[in-house]
Amino acid sequence: MICTYYADARCLDNEVLFQEKLKLLSPYRQQKIAILRHGKDKNRSLAAGLLLDHALGAYGLQERSVEYEIGEWGKPVLKYYPEICFSLSHSGDYAICTIGDKPLGNDIERVKDGRLKVADRFFFFFYLAWLYEAEEEQEQTQRMFRLWTMKESFVKAIGRGMSLSLQDFVIHMDEESGRVRVRHTVDAKYYHMREYREIAGYCTSVCVQDSADIAYSMIPIEFY
């Protein structure tokens, strides 16, 4: 099972709740939050950490009790539990955490108007052809963010960070079946995508290695 948890971080605007929840996290995560300058960034980072803490509970673990190692390309992993893979992302008011037993990555982006120039700059022509098949600019924008989150989730699943160009691999989408695959030359593994539409106004994608027949779930979490 590949589980993705999501939460609205706006409740953490409450300073008392923020400080209470901050104490639940490891010094590593607390430090990552402390160096952020803006309150909204702190809230989202805290929300992501809390989601990870919740997800680790299914394995009998607490986030504040685990140690991290940073991989060659800067991706954090659990030091003594390499079999547990996770990925965090946040955008707008939301944070997500995906966890499972296979290499994986996720991404969430709030859909914003006026961003189509990003596609013209970063996407191959055949992506652009699919994007501009849509007659309405709103649908074009939606497609651009769908592609962007898929590409980001693959980069995170591979664990290569910014060393991997968004043009080093190709996303294949079958709109009828909903299946999404990745063609690449990074390694000999297969990677599959899953899109989620649970959060209105956002695009969310999860990429997992060798996962065509694995069950997926997306679960809302609230902080009190």
Task: Tell whether domain 2-220 is in CATH 3.90.470.20.
Answer: yes
| 148 has a pLDDT exceeding 60 | yes
Q: What are the tokens at 80? A: 């003594």
- Residue-level pLDDT at 14: 96
State how far the alpha carbon of 84 is from the alpha carbons of 57, 76, 81, 216, in Å: 12, 12, 6, 16
Longest distance between any two alpha carbons in the chain, whole Å: 51
Point out the least confidently predicted range of 13-17, 48-52, 119-123.
119-123
Predicted TM-score (pTM) of this structure: 0.88
CB 17 within 8 A of CB 11: yes
- Rounded Cα distance between 217 and 197, Å, is 12
| 218 has a pLDDT exceeding 80 | yes
Q: What angle do CA 51, 83, 31 make, to 5 degrees?
A: 45
pLDDT top residue among 9 and 72: 9
Q: Give 89-130 pLDDT, tens digit per residue.
A: 999 999 999 999 999 999 999 998 866 776 666 666 556 666
Spatial CA neighbour of 94 closest among 186, 183, 220, 206: 220
CB 203 within 8 A of CB 1: no
- Residue-level pLDDT at 75: 87
SS3 113: coil
Strands 94-100 and 2-8: antiparallel
pLDDT top residue among 92 and 190: 92
58: confidence class by pLDDT, cuts 50, 70, 90: very high
CB 77 within 8 A of CB 37: no
